[in-house]
Amino acid sequence: MAIQKSKAQTAARLTLGAAFFVFGLNGFLQFIPQPAHSGAPGAFLGALAATGYMFPLIKGTELVTGLMLLAGRYVPLALTLLAPVMVNIVAFHLFLEPASIALPLVLLALGLFLAWKERSSYAALFESRSGASARLSDRAGGHASAAA
């Protein structure tokens, strides 16, 4: 029997998925007007645009992970891929445009809530050694082999 997801978890997943799907799609179709950025925020965004690949990479990641969240498929993977994107969005707004940090903080809170709800999926990431190296260590009498 599958574990029933809470209504709050479903709402958070759909909200986060919709936000990243829409903002990711907007990166390619520009249907939401973007404010002009000057000074350090403008220089930073200009440098990202000048690379020729960063915005398509970021917006493509947002689009795909937004779809994953909306579909409810591979949610832990989607959250993992979105983590560095969200950290940079929050850092950008915290350090360069603090007046507009409200939405990034809401999205971060939704992502953290979902990651907490999916924490069992991340358990293996926080083990001090992998299952394979643990088995090798047990066979070697407690000492991991050089091949591990």
Give the contacts of 39 (CB within 8 A, at least 6 positions apart): none
Task: Summarize pLDDT for 58-74 with one digit per residue, the tens.
Answer: 999 999 999 999 999 99
Token readout for 77 is 């993977």
pLDDT computed for residue 118 by the predictor: 95
Distance of alpha carbon 109 from the chain centroid: 12
**Local confidence band at 1 (pLDDT 50, 70, 90 cut-offs):** very low
Q: List phi, psi (to 5°) of 135.
A: -65, -40
Give this prediction's pTM: 0.83
Give the contacts of 78 (CB within 8 A, at least 6 positions apart): 17, 65, 68, 69
Q: What is the DSSP secondary-structure string of 92-128? A: HHHHT-GGG-HHHHHHHHHHHHHHHHTGGGGGGGGSS
DSSP state of 148: -
pLDDT computed for residue 132 by the predictor: 65
Task: Summarize pLDDT for 92-120 with one digit per residue, the tens.
Answer: 999 999 999 999 999 999 999 999 999 99
What SS3 state is found at 43?
helix
pLDDT computed for residue 20 by the predictor: 98
Give the contacts of 22 (CB within 8 A, at least 6 positions apart): 32, 66
Distance, CA of 27 to CA of 14 (rounded, Å):
20
